[in-house]
Chain A
């Protein structure tokens, strides 16, 4: 079971914002990818009930919405960890040793599944973020780090309290 969306203690206008995005595209099914982009921006991920709502509003079969949401790497059906490392695995970064960085990160952050320990850091990889001049590059919480070393990763991890 994925975590339920945060309780609506603060006034939740996300639904309204999503509605506005859909009406901007006149509820056309062609705009499904744009609508999913907006939904993910608002909610952080795409919970299945939300996909059903989108399907109903755009008058698309739910299978098509789920099919598109799972086809593209960008969309996530599970909530994200509070901190994210995205290691670029483009060719330039690969040549510069990015696989070693993934290994380091996984060793230091990975929690076995179902161990009951909350995963604070998610380690992902990207297919080239286009910063090849700075290889190896890592995106840490939206910030691009250039010419990354194990030491630099260690420092960033310490900064967020991962031993």
Chain B
């Protein structure tokens, strides 16, 4: 396909879609699938056939529509209405003609002007829920692969990198390293063979952003990687995706095949001299493989253990070659940046953090689901306007950054969400998991939970992490049983410092973060467990333990 043919295909597909009476978009992301979206889709399909309107109504499966708490979701494209908690019995009213202009299912309608939608800004998720992830034509109709065409025909690799630099995009995996600088580093390496790797090993418990992007808009990630390959001079890309994400793997495989068939990947992309292949590598369940050097080891078929840095992967990565590693969300931002320019992207967000961030809202909150907000939005807006507040009980803390992050207490609800502000209050941006806890959650047990995670997931290579996490978990475990002393608290602080200073990789260095942040903001809860042998949240089973011992 040439670039002209790409635009021709877009026009053709748009025309076809406009000729239809309606397109019914049925959310088929993992969330909705597990509450019956499959059966619903079959019912709608049968209803269309029964009414004999296959020619004028199209039924599509789409990526995540966002409001997972109301699933299964259905979007009626003709009148742009969203319906939640839809059942197969509703199929008839969805399919039937609706001349009145009112919602066909009034009790299931979701207000698209509600704060949940109006306070969001969608760049990464622009297509999610609007295109069928299994149809390349749909992505092309939405302007897909035009950014790649623009880069290949109208720009030099250096210009692409300048544009990414200008955008101020920073790594969305959590650490926030400027993406343009990383690309520049890889481009300047002398060796001919280079690699582009997409880190889709989303291991943080409570995070499902990358999964949703891969399931909802896989071509966007492929396009971003191909542009990266062109910019840094690589011809081979790998996507390292978690083994647990069966649906994402399947959709990526389909997308890669489709793109190769249309010459959007592979040899002579868009009839230019550029070639780029993408292969999938499926992980096998090791959290540490999200660390870049461990991920490289895993792609090479070895145990996923990190190694000392430097040399960093841009100098010596996969099989010793210069390697660019970016997160899924980072790659998903590339096509809009190239298409609309770096200045456009830089106009969104704060001074040091540009663009938007996708968050997975979960925990004790009314609207769980997937959201995207401009950088610098306050936590209060995210949790209370978009998230709809806490259904029962009182807000206690928001946890960001998973086992490497921290708990943010109430007094910082008005802090803007960007890399620097979150670091200042002892948490991290992380990959985007945002879990809300109310007063029924015990913060000591939360710290114990994350420490247990790090203890299980420690790869065992360096001693501070291997032995330190076990010791810290032991202390926290005793605290939740009401068996700890004041000395233990001091030991906990000493160990936290030790792990942070001396561990080999990010897993060990950040493992104490949940402990340190809860010690800082919820010290009274620790003290209650130690001095009064009491759990203020009523979560830990201290009393029953004592009774058990006496009986």
A89, B360: Cα distance in complex, Å: 16
Q: Interface 1/0s, chain B 194-209, versus A by CB < 8 A?
A: 0000000011111110
B281–chain A nearest beta-carbon distance, Å = 7
Given known A-B contacts A72-B304, A91-B435, A131 and B34 have beta carbons under 8 A apart: yes
Q: Interface 1/0s, chain B 337-373, versus A by CB < 8 A?
A: 0000000000000000000000011111000111000
Given known A-B contacts A34-B282, A128-B207, A146-B35, A91 and B245 have beta carbons under 8 A apart: no
A109, B299: Cα distance in complex, Å: 37
Q: Which of A72, A134, A135 contacts B286 (CB 8 A)?
A: A72
Residues in A with CB closer than 8 Å to B522 are none
A30, B195: Cα distance in complex, Å: 15
A113-147: which have CB < 8 Å to B?
126-135, 137, 143-146
Query: Does A155 have its Cβ within 8 Å of any Cβ on chain B?
Result: no
Query: Does A87 have its Cβ within 8 Å of any Cβ on chain B?
Result: no
Residues in A with CB closer than 8 Å to B127 are none
Which chain B residue has the least Cβ–Cβ distance from A89? Answer: B205
A6, B287: Cα distance in complex, Å: 33
Given known A-B contacts A74-B284, A133-B68, A133-B368, A90 and B33 have beta carbons under 8 A apart: no
Query: Which of under 10, 10 to 19, 20 to 34, or 35 or more describes the interface residues of B?
Result: 35 or more
Query: Does A73 have its Cβ within 8 Å of any Cβ on chain B?
Result: yes
B284–chain A nearest beta-carbon distance, Å = 3
Q: Which of A34, A94, A130 contacts B30 (CB 8 A)?
A: A130
Cβ contact within 8 Å between B205 and A135: no
Residues in B with CB closer than 8 Å to A129 are 244
Residues in A with CB closer than 8 Å to B68 are 133-134
Cβ contact within 8 Å between A71 and B303: yes
A124–chain B nearest beta-carbon distance, Å = 11
Cβ contact within 8 Å between A132 and B206: yes
Cβ contact within 8 Å between A144 and B34: yes
A133–chain B nearest beta-carbon distance, Å = 3
Cβ contact within 8 Å between A133 and B402: no
A126, B246: Cα distance in complex, Å: 14
A19–chain B nearest beta-carbon distance, Å = 18
A90, B203: Cα distance in complex, Å: 10
A57–chain B nearest beta-carbon distance, Å = 14
Cβ contact within 8 Å between B208 and A68: no
Q: How many residues of A contact B (CB 8 A)?
A: 39
Cβ contact within 8 Å between B284 and A75: yes
B131–chain A nearest beta-carbon distance, Å = 21
Query: Does A77 have its Cβ within 8 Å of any Cβ on chain B?
Result: no
A34, B241: Cα distance in complex, Å: 12
Cβ contact within 8 Å between A37 and B282: yes
Q: Which of A30, A33, A94, A137 contacts B284 (CB 8 A)?
A: A33
Given known A-B contacts A34-B282, A73-B284, A73-B285, A90 and B206 have beta carbons under 8 A apart: yes
Cβ contact within 8 Å between B362 and A126: no
Residues in B with CB closer than 8 Å to A89 are 205
Q: Which of B243, B285, B368 contacts A132 (CB 8 A)?
A: B368
Which chain A residue has the least Cβ–Cβ distance from B450? Answer: A91
A29, B331: Cα distance in complex, Å: 29
B360-402: which have CB < 8 Å to A?
360-364, 368-370, 399, 402
Query: Does B473 have its Cβ within 8 Å of any Cβ on chain A?
Result: no
A51, B173: Cα distance in complex, Å: 35
B165–chain A nearest beta-carbon distance, Å = 32
Query: Does B424 have its Cβ within 8 Å of any Cβ on chain A?
Result: no
Cβ contact within 8 Å between A133 and B303: no
Query: Does B433 have its Cβ within 8 Å of any Cβ on chain A?
Result: yes
Cβ contact within 8 Å between A134 and B31: yes
Query: Does A42 have its Cβ within 8 Å of any Cβ on chain B?
Result: no
Residues in A with CB closer than 8 Å to B35 are 134, 146
Query: Does A152 have its Cβ within 8 Å of any Cβ on chain B?
Result: no
Residues in A with CB closer than 8 Å to B360 are 132-133
B124–chain A nearest beta-carbon distance, Å = 17
Which chain A residue has the least Cβ–Cβ distance from B280? Answer: A34
Q: Which of A33, A131, A144 contacts B208 (CB 8 A)?
A: A131
Cβ contact within 8 Å between B362 and A127: no
Q: Which of A64, A127, A145 contacts B34 (CB 8 A)?
A: A145
Query: Does B500 have its Cβ within 8 Å of any Cβ on chain A?
Result: no
Given known A-B contacts A132-B360, A134-B68, A127 and B205 have beta carbons under 8 A apart: yes
B92-137: which have CB < 8 Å to A?
none
**Which A residues form the contact surface with B (CB < 8 A)?**
28-34, 36-37, 64, 67-68, 71-75, 89-92, 94-96, 126-135, 137, 143-146
**Which B residues form the contact surface with A (CB < 8 A)?**
30-31, 33-35, 68-69, 71, 202-208, 211, 243-245, 281-287, 298-304, 360-364, 368-370, 399, 402, 433, 435, 437, 441, 449-450, 453, 457, 459
4 A-B pairs with least C-beta separation: A133-B68, A91-B206, A72-B284, A92-B362
Sample of 11 further A-B pairs with CB below 8 A, known A71-B459, A75-B284: A30-B299, A34-B281, A34-B301, A37-B243, A68-B301, A92-B435, A131-B208, A132-B363, A133-B362, A134-B68, A135-B363
